[in-house]
Amino acid sequence: MRKLPKLPRPLAANPPGCRGATLLLALCLLAGCATRAADEGATRHRWTQLGPDGRISLRSIVDGVGDCPTAVVDGARVPLQVRAAATVTGAPRPSPDNPAFRPDFAVTTCEATLPATARQASIGGDPLPMPVSDPRRIIIVGDTGCRIKVPASGPADPIQNCAGTSDWPWPRIAAAAAATQPDLVIHVGDYHYREYCDDPARCQPLRDQGVVVGYGWAGWQADFLAPATPLLAAAPWIVVRGNHENCDRGGEGWMRFLSPVPYRQCGNQAYKTASQSVLGNNLTADAYRVELGKRLTLVVADNAAFADYLPLAQTPDDLAILQRTLRALTTAPSGRPLWLLIHKPLWYDLLPAAAQPNALQTFARSGLPASLQFVFAGHEHAFATLNFAASAGRPAQVIVGASGTQLEAFDPQSPLYEGAAPGSKEQALPDARLHDGIAASSGIVLNRYSFLLLERAGDGWDGTLIDADGRAISRCRLDGDGRQIDCGFPAPPQAPRSGAQPSCCRGASRRNGRWVAASSR
């Protein structure tokens, strides 16, 4: 991996713009920077997303009800338009017993849609990352937020320490991922985990540390946007919706900030009640294709609200919806390699081994094209791979779900819980369980905070699983034609001795006190 790149400078509270006399202003505009109008809101964040039909979406968040900024795109001024207006802070709650419904957002989200031919863009003089024709470095992250979900009484999930960068490493992972100088960033879902904390006794320590919790702007800013700043500036993003972005949870923030389709307000859906989010009421978007050069197509799908834990017989509507929304996959041109990006995996260890096929697995039996090489997913808070024999006709699956939120290893309710024995539930080989009737031929499971770097190597891809300090954990080889991913199983999770090269990182180099994976090129 290369050195830390020179990324666009951090956002200032008042972007400097171009000041001075008329002549200087004209020269400034010719040079491609932009001024901020007096009534234009201070820009909090700005980034680039890739969306349906080859479109490029410029996104910006400004304070309050201020006007949206103007971008300079290939020398032309392009005003961003309001995507979602700020809410009235302090107004009566429309549904006091459902904090996920219409929470406060004291910011305006702005958007401009550009054609795929756009090459350069900036806002306030700061360049925005733009897509390259043939991406060679791709970052994949997933399940990044800090887990806080504490009811007023009764059992609760373990509280993650959001104030500790060891316990919640998403800020470090975002910085380490940005340092690899990616051409593209893919997030496979679950951005927001700071849901609620209603027990005064259990929640007071969080308040004492200034930890922000909530479904509105403050929660999204603390959990995703602020720590993601260096990675948002590093490359364009492709975003996948996770179940934590369902309308009965953090869906309103997803719709405002990240959804690839125009903003729509979530309905009043309450988690784990009769009105909870399901595929049919969750504003589920149709899948879409993103072409990466001439050699690869990504299919981005929204399966966030499908009931993966229920058999098809109990969710017949889910199958019909998946068949409709996944047409971008089933109608993709033949002969061109496909990768599917979803949040909830097709097959994974959190489902009971004896479970009957769910709607997505049923769809996969006949709906997956032969050109589908890999499925990338999140949801399981670990890194995991699954390969099947060629006779099974299945793609390989890669779960990247350990980029910040509490690992399965720390959750007593998880089958991957490790307690006081770190690494005890990691797997160098799959167990004998059947995944919808078929055993995996190979694959690994790692309970370690990480992100995945993919680097083009000839006609294929090499992968490096990297920790929050930029150290390689495992090296992988992706064989698209064979629909296989082969990742080395690392040494047990412990800090390496000073000056000793970890066994996971053979072929890497020592740089600034860290082991850095050798470039595949």
Judge whether 377 lies within some domain.
yes
One-letter amino acid for residue 378 of the chain? G
**Which domain, by its residues, includes 184?**
137-516
| Residues 304-355 pLDDT 10s | 999 999 999 999 999 999 999 999 999 999 889 999 999 999 999 999 888 9
Q: Residue 34 above 90 pLDDT?
A: no
Average pLDDT, stretch 34-62? Answer: 83
Task: Please indicate, yes or no, if residue 443 is contained in any of the structural domains.
Answer: yes
Identify which of 111, 64, 43 has the alpha carbon closest to the alpha carbon of residue 83: 111
Confidence of residue 406 (pLDDT cuts 50, 70, 90): very high
Between strands 372-377 and 338-341, the pairing is parallel
Strand partners, 48: 58
Return the pLDDT at 330. Answer: 96
Q: What angle do CA 459, 461, 463 make, to 5 degrees?
A: 170
Quote the pLDDT of residue 515.
29
The residue-averaged pLDDT of 190-195 equals 98
Contact 140, 451 (CB under 8 A): yes
Q: For 193-247, how does the pLDDT look when each residue is reduced to its tens digit (9 = 90+)?
A: 999 999 999 999 999 999 999 999 999 999 999 999 999 999 999 999 999 999 9
CB 286 within 8 A of CB 301: no
Q: Is residue 86 part of a domain?
A: no
User: What's residue 448's pLDDT?
Assistant: 97
**What average pLDDT does the segment 280-299 reach?**
96
Q: How confident is the model at residue 496 (pLDDT cuts 50, 70, 90)?
A: very low
What is the spatial distance between Cα 407 and Cα 384, in angstroms, rounded to a whole number?
12
What's the CATH number where 257 sits? Answer: 3.60.21.10
If you average pLDDT over residues 494-519, what whole number do you get?
35
**Each residue of 5-24: pLDDT tens digit?**
333 333 333 333 333 333 33
User: Could you give the CA distance from residue 49 to residue 326 in angstroms, rounded to a whole number?
Assistant: 20
67 is a domain residue? no
User: Does residue 357 carry a pLDDT above 90?
Assistant: yes
At 74 the three-state DSSP class reads coil
DSSP state of 295: T
Asked if the structure places residue 308 within a domain, the reply is: yes
CA 227 – CA 144 distance, rounded (Å): 10
- The reply to whether 121 falls in a domain is no
pLDDT at 40: 55
Query: Roughly how many angstroms between the first and final C-alpha of the chain, as a whole number?
Result: 10
Q: What is the pLDDT of residue 20?
A: 33
Number of structural domains the chain divides into: 1
Please write the tens of the pLDDT for every residue from 92-115.
766 778 999 999 999 999 999 999
> Among candidates 224, 246, 248, 218, which has minimal Cα distance to 237?
224
How high does pLDDT run on average in the chain?
88
**pLDDT computed for residue 33 by the predictor:** 41
Is 60 exceeded by the pLDDT of residue 3? no
Query: Does 79 fall in a domain?
Result: no
Closest CA to 226 of 168, 139, 281, 183: 168
Q: Dihedral of the CA atoms 422, 424, 430, 432 (nearest 10)? A: -150
